Amino acid sequence: MELGDLITIDLIEFNVFASTKEEVLRKVATHLYKAGRVSDEEAYFQALVNRENATTTGFGKGIAIPHANIEEVTLPTISVLKLNTPVEWDSLDDKPVNIVIALAVPSKAKGTIHLQLLAKLSEELMEDEFVEKLHKANSKDEIYQYITNVFHKE
């Protein structure tokens, strides 16, 4: 998996305005559609909603990892949205979310890349220092560096 293909500066957004989880998911879908990472915005949005309806992706510590693996995903993608104000997410710790790390994976890669991405991110999010860095980040470049460093660790 080539990291440069997973995330770019353009896939990171700051000060995103949304008041509900569904609005955030809509913004993720729109963002990835405009970036050419999904061929069908509505299909990706619906897949994100369906995933949330099955089990929350609210990881805790103010972070959610919504994800979907559908054939309309053109490239495996990580996108990060930093919300202007926290949004209720039914997180595991019952706290609202203000950082969304969204994953989009083509259905043909769901058993490999999808699980690898989730595992690596989840492992890193257990570390308070990493979570604190994400929350304190003031630029797309900082977020980009923190996320890419996760995948350079061995």
Tell me the catalytic residues: 67
DSSP 8-state code for residue 153 = -
Instruction: Give 47-52 contacts, CB < 8 A, sequence gap 24+.
Output: 48/102, 49/22, 49/25, 52/21, 52/25
Q: Which residues contact 142 (CB under 8 A, 6 or more apart)?
A: 133
Report the alpha-carbon distance of residue 36 to residue 39 in Å, rounded: 7
DSSP string across 24-93: HHHHHHHHHHHTTSBS-HHHHHHHHHHHHHHS--EEETTEE--EEE-TTB-S-EEEEEEEEEEE----TT
